[in-house]
Amino acid sequence: MGSRKAREREMLDSVCSMIALVFFLVTCVELCDAATVVDVYRLIQYDISGAPFGSRLAKLNHHAGSLHFPPGADLSRTVLMIPVRDLNITFLQDYIAQRQPLGGLLFLLPRMFSFENKDDTRTNHQNQESDLLKSVVAELEQLLIHSNVPYPVYFAFEDDDIDAVLADVKRTDAIGQPATATTGGFKLVVSAPEPKKLISPTITNIQGWLPGLKTDGDASQLPTIAIVASYDTFGAAPALSVGSDSNGSGIVALLEIARLFSLLYSNTKTRGRYNILFGLTSGGPYNYNGTQKWLRSFDQRLRESIDYAICLNSIGSWDNELWIHVSKPAENAYIKQIFEDFSSVAEGLGFKVGLKHKKINISNPRVAWEHEQFSRLRVTAATLSQLFTAPDLLESTGGLVDSRHFVSETAIIRSVKLVAESLARHIYGYQGNNIQIFADDSSLAVNPSYIQSWLDFLSRTPRVAPFLSKNDPFVMALKKELEDHTHEVNVQHEVLDGMFTFYDLTKARLAIYQVASVTFDLLLLLVLGSYLIVLFSFLVITTRGLDDLISIFRRPPSRKVKTA
């Protein structure tokens, strides 16, 4: 009997040690079997001359809460899920300004802003609602970009799973029981490493050269006309900054103009006596840093031979008025000539072109328009844009609201016609005549499907410059397209100016778990414990009799009695 008990005890010991080993293994293994996994996009994190902006953290592991939280609740371990439809900007502004602690923010954007949305969202019903949403999101974007937020901020698109989770969270919050470790609820987990600085981000400028007709009598260099557009964007969520209008429309227009002029210049009979230089520059949002470096790299002769440069910026969503922004006064002869060309063509096409003059302040590092970089190096230039006022730093740079939904190809087609005809008039010397070179039914007609396909492609490609590597496929695609249309293409790699520093990690996957509270687990343990005890007593009573059960609890006293 004793040896049997000893053997049993040995077996029990070995089982116990096995269980201990098992629990040790448990701590080493990490699992992920969430009910919902969603793609989320992180708020940008950057420094301007050392001052931090944007969201400084990426890792997230907190309970979900909604805007209906009970007043005075402690939110330092809660992630607020806010659909932008229900957003109250002033509340958020106060919250961030007062630096109140928060576990994290998750903004839910309507599917309208998604570039992966394959539905035909170009129908114009619900125009008012979408305009209101657009202004709310634009305001939110500006607020977040210029704040220093010490907790993670993510953007996600609404879909059925997340909507269901949000409805549940709202319900439990309305009851007055915010989700914490002791009450259960939903847990949002993003496992991401610490965001690291991007060292020496490169900006790439691509230029295409279309040489003019040089006859034997010409001793000096032919004059040049430059057409420039910046192709990179900046927004609150770099993985979503597709910038369909700023400056996708400019890029598409530039490519189409290149295609048309390459057709004209392919035949020596129709080749003009001007060289045409096409420039796709990067670093636009950062005071047109790339344009400056590109111009600095020019040969002195080339720079002097530029008659004028036209910069294209946001020409995709206007109705009947465009603006030409210049930095030299309107009385200047060159400016007068450019403006005359453009306005006469515009009249023929049925819309207006206005002239706006903005003086450059050399001591101010802020460069609001691309033509200002040209003007600083004494090259005549103008920017064609639908915007009336000069944008501030990091404004109108193709952020969240700039999606395909809000751009119309007709506007771009008309802009292309305007620029192409005006240039042709200058190159071929048709002053004041009403001749249409790029007429609609000719072989030189503007190709709508070319514009549409490039616009669609650009609206699916986020283009924030620090996150585009040197040989990024997008940059290579632009280069190849210019090579098709021009004679000679050069690619210039530069390092972005030291004033801006960026941090990586723009995209992550969010796992949403439904967790049970600790009280539930404890309750379950209690229930199971009592169940096993009841089972034990039942079995003892039925197989050995009630006396045995009582004797199990009374053994120690009886032994004492025996020894005494």
Give the one residue of 8, 10, 440, 547 binding other proteins; rule: CB under 8 A. 8
Give the one residue of 164, 524, 546, 550 binding other proteins; rule: CB under 8 A. 524
Nearest-angstrom CA–CA distance, 244 and 409: 11
Pick the stretch among 167-175, 304-312, 441-449, 533-541 that binds other proteins (CB under 8 A). Answer: 533-541
* Gap between the terminal Cα atoms of the chain: 25
User: Which residue carries 């319900």 as its tokens?
Assistant: 171
For 48, 380, 550, 558, 561, the CA distances from 554, given in Å and listed in that order, are 78, 106, 6, 7, 11
Residue 73 makes contact with other proteins by CB under 8 A: no
Nearest-angstrom CA–CA distance, 318 and 232: 21
User: Which residue carries 């119309």 as its tokens?
Assistant: 408
Residue 23 makes contact with other proteins by CB under 8 A: yes
Give the one residue of 6, 9, 10, 11 binding other proteins; rule: CB under 8 A. 11
Helices (H) and strands (E) in the chain — how many of each? 14, 19
> Are 34 and 509 within 8 A, CB to CB?
no
Pick the stretch among 27-35, 164-172, 224-232, 286-294 that binds other proteins (CB under 8 A). Answer: 27-35
Nearest-angstrom CA–CA distance, 123 and 176: 41
Residue 377 makes contact with other proteins by CB under 8 A: no
Nearest-angstrom CA–CA distance, 396 and 489: 29
C-beta of 184: minimal distance to other proteins in Å?
8
Give the one residue of 539, 546, 551, 559 binding other proteins; rule: CB under 8 A. 539
**Of residues 367 and 511, the one with the C-beta less far from other proteins:** 511
C-beta of 537: minimal distance to other proteins in Å?
8
Q: 538: how many CB neighbours lie within 10 A of its CB? A: 11
**Of residues 172 and 386, the one with the C-beta less far from other proteins:** 172
> Are 197 and 475 within 8 A, CB to CB?
no
Phi and psi, residue 130, nearest 5°: -70, -35
Residue 34 makes contact with other proteins by CB under 8 A: yes
Pick the stretch among 213-221, 347-355, 466-474, 527-535 that binds other proteins (CB under 8 A). Answer: 527-535
> Are 277 and 208 within 8 A, CB to CB?
yes
How many residues sit close enough to other proteins to count as binding (CB under 8 A)? 33
Residue 24 makes contact with other proteins by CB under 8 A: no
**Of residues 187 and 404, the one with the C-beta less far from other proteins:** 187
Q: Strand 507-515 and strand 185-190: pairing?
A: antiparallel
- In the stretch 188-227, what mask flags binding to other proteins with x, by CB under 8 A? -x--------------------------------------
Tell me 455's DSSP state.
H
- In the stretch 384-403, what mask flags binding to other proteins with x, by CB under 8 A? --------------------
**Of residues 34 and 349, the one with the C-beta less far from other proteins:** 34
Residue 553 makes contact with other proteins by CB under 8 A: no
Round the CA-based radius of gyration of the chain to a whole number and report it.
34
Q: 426: how many CB neighbours lie within 10 A of its CB? A: 20
Pick the stretch among 76-84, 179-187, 377-385, 421-429 that binds other proteins (CB under 8 A). Answer: 179-187
Residue 138 makes contact with other proteins by CB under 8 A: no
Q: Strand 224-230 and strand 148-149: pairing?
A: unpaired
Tell which residue, 226, 225, 233, has the closest CA to residue 203. Answer: 233
Residue 86 makes contact with other proteins by CB under 8 A: no
By the criterion CB under 8 A, which residues form the site for other proteins?
Answer: 4, 8, 11, 23, 26, 29, 31-35, 181, 184, 187, 189, 513-516, 518, 521, 524-525, 528, 531-532, 535-537, 539-540, 543-544
